[in-house]
Structure 1
């Protein structure tokens, strides 16, 4: 059983080397789909052993093109600021969620550590395709390609946010089997400043406007509600929710 890792990039020179080198320890190939970076992303990715293709288009298009070129039985949709841990093993199902370990420093790191720690503790509830806070990143390749075909063309061309949620939703229509969860399977680097983080969520909000009037609109609004939490856990998540939610709302509604 072969595994392909697909990583979209845009000016990701700070983290892409680690992402590629770690992925090649656990997979059969790494495909970096670059949106014509102006830094050393491509150079570093190729040096570490990735296959690099460059295309113009959305983040979703990058994921689709990577999967089309992949040769593995499975495709892992990794981000350029993520890398594998030794716990990435033992996958058995066609859809696999990878538990994330937050690494980094500063305020954003602390905020996201709290968010992920609580969410992953309640992983069974949070795998809910419409409301949960955990999105699978590893799929049977043929199943994934069929799901990609069902996403409307205008969204494929333009969607740069929430694409992972849309992918999971479309896969769930086709797949009625078990979703496997592997705890602490990948590390996720959170080194943004608070301003950079909130600016990113503002951009997510602006991009999410593309989902208005589609069947995905409800998912985009409800995902991340973190079901199954105690009142104490909900209180702990108030700050992360506000720091993401306020700039997102500004981008979405203004």
Structure 2
């Protein structure tokens, strides 16, 4: 019987971050959980594709845009379960065991990991706490937390939208809070943008963009304000 899990990673010039992400997937390979890793690349001009292929991933190309790259990755994937993961996120070692438990015990639900930032800054601990509370209370995890779901559930909710921003919010709203489970493992994501812009400044900017989306502003318009 084939391994159940396809991991889908959208990339764009991710050569610096991708090796750590791929290395963190080893527990899933060792346990026989992973069927394939699909890197959906938006025509990078660095070594992203070379790095992915050297690690044994299947590399496909799609027009730049995380929504359409995720769609293309899901279409190419063959697993009964899909894990969507950002290229600048590395999973903690126990992730594979937690995912296997979820597949066995909660097949009708999607799952997300606990958010951590790869930073020692106090702002990182503040934002992690804030983000994880938001995920639990509102059912709105960050895209950085990964998203695990069965192919059946993915098809039922219509998959990702082909938008430039907020594709992660749109799909978790379609799934619904009651069908969202929280996995006891960490998604350790890059802190580069927060360290560049300031933890609170960046967090409030992102929060304002989310609020505008929930109030009806289009993802295309919001994408022009997001850097």
**TM-score computed with the length of structure 1 as normaliser:** 0.66
Structure possessing the higher radius of gyration over alpha carbons? 1
Q: Which consecutive residues of structure 1, in runs of 5 or more, have no partner in the other structure?
A: 222-247
Offset at 1:199?
8.7
Q: Equivalent residue of 1:28, what SS?
A: strand
Q: Which residue of 1 aligns with 2:125?
A: 113
C-alpha contact (below 8 Å) 1:4/1:75 kept by paired residues: yes
Partner Cα distance (1:101, 1:149) in 2 = 26
CA separation of 1:200 and 1:33: change in aligned 2, threshold 3 A: farther
Q: Which consecutive residues of structure 2, in runs of 5 or more, have no partner in the other structure?
A: 29-33
Q: Which residue of 2 aligns with 1:34?
A: 41
Partner Cα distance (1:102, 1:16) in 2 = 16
- Choose which of 45, 59, 62 in structure 1 pairs with 2:66: 59
Offset at 1:121?
5.5
Offset at 1:6?
0.6
Offset at 1:202?
7.4
Q: How many pairs align?
A: 203
Partner Cα distance (2:175, 2:187) in 1 = 22
Q: Which residue of 1 aligns with 2:6?
A: 4
Q: Equivalent residue of 1:56, what SS?
A: coil
Describe the superposition over 1:15-65 as per-residue Cα deviations: whole angstroms up to 9, x where unpaired. Answer: 111212322432321110000101111111111111100111421011111
C-alpha contact (below 8 Å) 2:160/2:170 kept by paired residues: no
- Choose which of 142, 160, 168 in structure 1 pairs with 2:152: 142
Q: Which residue of 1 aligns with 2:113?
A: 98
Q: Which residue of 1 aligns with 2:166?
A: 162
C-alpha contact (below 8 Å) 1:103/1:189 kept by paired residues: yes
**TM-score computed with the length of structure 2 as normaliser:** 0.73
Describe the superposition over 1:154-206 as per-residue Cα deviations: whole angstroms up to 9, x where unpaired. Answer: xx1xx22211011112233xxx8642111333211213342498799979989
* RMSD of Structure 2 on Structure 1 (CA): 3.7
Describe the superposition over 1:187-243 as per-residue Cα deviations: whole angstroms up to 9, x where unpaired. Answer: 11213342498799979989x8xxx8xxxx42778xxxxxxxxxxxxxxxxxxxxxx
Q: Which residue of 2 aligns with 1:235?
A: none
Partner Cα distance (2:205, 2:136) in 1 = 29
